[in-house]
């Protein structure tokens, strides 16, 4: 095939084995895309088809004739270049990493704050019911002790200013539960997205001063008001759905319903989330006339002054609240550095 010498942009002449076969306008032809070494097809409006393995020649002809199919040649050049292929892989990997590290947390935070409180409460209610059925046992804390702790908890809630991120819309409730592993009570406290704060029996014997428990409860309230639990649920759900679709198992997304309670019980908050919840607790403690050092004392009592690695691997409260010793030091000096 060659272009007409009189009008190379608009007309062509087709020769097969040296014999003239056809001529016409360039743009009446439909040319298939280049895919590796697969022969190309030229199609005419009357149904005629011409195939050739001379892909390079077709590419040159398309470029010279300014055929509309020439616009797709850049894709083949990219596919044929190892440097471009490597750059593309690195670009995709970089975008995926950026999306995971910054994009997903940002979107999760925006969604968590946009969701109405009843959605948070519905997830919490279902999660707590599942935890009671699968993980928790009834508390053995006597009624009088529960009443004393609830009274202090209610006072803490009443003293939280309504401007502090939604205390007026979340119905904060305190629950007592017991959880054991191999017959050993596990010290833990956790907050569900809808405002349910859970304290386990194993935590209370480690508390020397009621103000230490106050600090832990305020920390958990901070997680609720900052929507940390819901943000983590959204992030985990997004990753699970994407992984299920990528692996060709859309039905795997249905496991989210049963997986949320496990995630809430075992999830590790990010350092940023812990810092935000700590700051909320410290500020509320100062308003109530409580020195944040009591939070540091609580951490040291629970971990026994172990290192972060040792305490984080213990399976209790600080296995889901990382950076314990660093946070204890911050609590000890918070009043001085404020």
Question: 9 and 133 share a domain?
Answer: no
One domain, residues 176 and 270 = yes
pTM: 0.69
Q: Which two tokens stand for residue 181?
A: 């592993």
Instruction: Please state, in angstroms and as integers, the Cα–Cα distance from residue 122 to each residue in 15, 92, 140, 157, 226, following that order.
Output: 74, 37, 27, 21, 18
Rounded Cα gap, residues 16 and 199, in angstroms: 86
Asked whether residue 219 carries a pLDDT value surpassing 60, the answer given is: yes
Q: Position of tokens 């950076």? A: 323
Judging by DSSP bridges, how do beta strands 2-3 and 11-16 pair with one another?
antiparallel
Q: What is the mean pLDDT of residues 55-64?
A: 72
Residue of 214 and 15 predicted with greater confidence: 214
Contacts of 165 (CB under 8 A, 6+ apart): 225, 226, 280
My answer on whether 207 and 120 are in the same domain is yes
In this predicted structure, what is the pLDDT of residue 311? 43
Residue 147: inside a domain, yes or no?
A: yes
Q: Please check the confidence at residue 304 and state whether its pLDDT lies above 50.
A: yes
Tell me which residue of 199, 315, 321 sits closest to 270, measured CA to CA.
Answer: 321
In a domain, 230, yes or no: yes
* Average pLDDT for the chain: 80
Whether residue 101 is contained in a domain is answered as: no
Average pLDDT, stretch 179-205?
94
Confidence of residue 314 (pLDDT cuts 50, 70, 90): very low
Contact 269, 321 (CB under 8 A): yes
Count of helices and strands (H, E) across the chain:
13, 12
Range of the domain at 15: 2-79
Task: Indicate whether 97 belongs to any domain.
Answer: no
Q: Are residues 178 and 256 in the same domain?
A: yes
Quick one: what percent of the chain has pLDDT higher than 90?
36
Overall average pLDDT of the 11-37 stretch: 77
**What's the pLDDT score for residue 266?**
61
Q: What is the pLDDT at residue 253?
A: 46
Residue 35 DSSP SS3: coil
Q: Are residues 172 and 237 in the same domain?
A: yes
Query: Which is nearest to 190 in space by CA: 321, 309, 98, 88?
Result: 321
Residue 88, pLDDT > 50, answer yes
CA 216/CA 152 separation, integer angstroms: 12
Q: Looking at the predicted structure, is the pLDDT value of residue 313 above 90?
A: no
Residue 110: how many CB atoms within 10 A of its CB? 12
In a domain, 241, yes or no: yes
**What is the tally of structural domains in the chain?**
2
| 93 belongs to a structural domain | no
What's residue 70's pLDDT?
64
226 shares its domain with 291: yes
C-beta of residue 153 within 8 angstroms of C-beta of residue 217? yes
What's the pLDDT band for 295 if we cut at 50, 70, 90?
very high
- 275 occurs within a structural domain: yes
Please indicate, yes or no, whether residues 8 and 127 belong to a single structural domain of this protein: no
Residues 54 and 146 reside in one and the same domain: no
The average pLDDT across 6-24 equals 72
- 23 and 120 in a single domain? The answer is no
Q: Which of 62, 79, 96 is the last residue of a domain?
A: 79
In a domain, 92, yes or no: no
Q: For residue 244, count CB atoms less than 10 angstroms from its CB and return exposed for 0-12, middle for 13-18, buried for 19 or more.
A: middle
Q: Are residues 28 and 150 in the same domain?
A: no
Query: What's the confidence (pLDDT) of residue 168?
Result: 53
Q: In terms of domains, do 205 and 326 share one?
A: yes
Return the minimum-mean-pLDDT range out of 33-37, 101-105, 160-164, 274-278: 160-164
Residues 119 and 74 in one domain: no
Q: What is the pLDDT of residue 17?
A: 79
Average of pLDDT values for 69-78? 58
Question: How many of the other CB atoms lie within 10 Å of CB of 177?
Answer: 19
């Amino acid at each position: 095939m060659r272009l007409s010498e009189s009008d190379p942009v608009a007309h062509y002449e087709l020769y097969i084995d040296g014999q003239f076969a056809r001529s016409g306008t360039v743009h009446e032809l439909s040319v298939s895309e280049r895919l590796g070494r697969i022969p190309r097809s030229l199609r005419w409006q009357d149904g005629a088809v011409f195939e050739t393995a001379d892909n390079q020649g077709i590419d040159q002809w398309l470029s010279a004739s300014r055929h509309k199919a020439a616009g797709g040649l850049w894709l083949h050049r990219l596919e044929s270049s190892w440097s471009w292929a490597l750059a593309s892989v690195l670009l995709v990997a970089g975008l995926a990493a950026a999306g995971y590290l910054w994009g997903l947390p940002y979107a999760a935070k925006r969604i968590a704050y946009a969701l109405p409180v009843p959605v948070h409460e519905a997830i919490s209610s279902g999660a707590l019911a599942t935890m009671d059925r699968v993980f928790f046992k009834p508390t053995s804390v006597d009624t009088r002790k529960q009443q004393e702790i609830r009274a202090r908890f209610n006072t803490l809630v009443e003293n939280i200013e309504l401007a502090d991120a939604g205390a007026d819309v979340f119905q904060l409730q305190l629950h007592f539960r017991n959880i054991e592993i191999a017959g050993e009570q596990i010290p833990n406290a956790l907050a569900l997205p809808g405002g349910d704060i859970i304290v386990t029996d194993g935590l209370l014997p480690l508390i020397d001063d009621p103000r230490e428990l106050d600090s832990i409860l305020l920390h958990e309230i901070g997680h609720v008001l900052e929507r940390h639990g819901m943000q983590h649920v959204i992030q985990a759900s997004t990753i699970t759905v994407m992984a299920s679709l990528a692996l060709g198992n859309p039905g795997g997304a249905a496991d989210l319903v049963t997986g949320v309670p496990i995630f809430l019980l075992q999830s590790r908050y990010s350092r940023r989330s812990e810092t935000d919840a700590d700051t909320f607790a410290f500020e509320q403690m100062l308003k109530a006339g409580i020195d944040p050092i009591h939070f540091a004392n609580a951490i040291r009592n629970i971990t026994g002054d172990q290192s972060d690695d040792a305490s984080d691997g213990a399976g209790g409260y600080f296995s889901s609240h990382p950076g314990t010793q660093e946070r204890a030091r911050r609590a000890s000096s918070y009043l001085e550095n404020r």
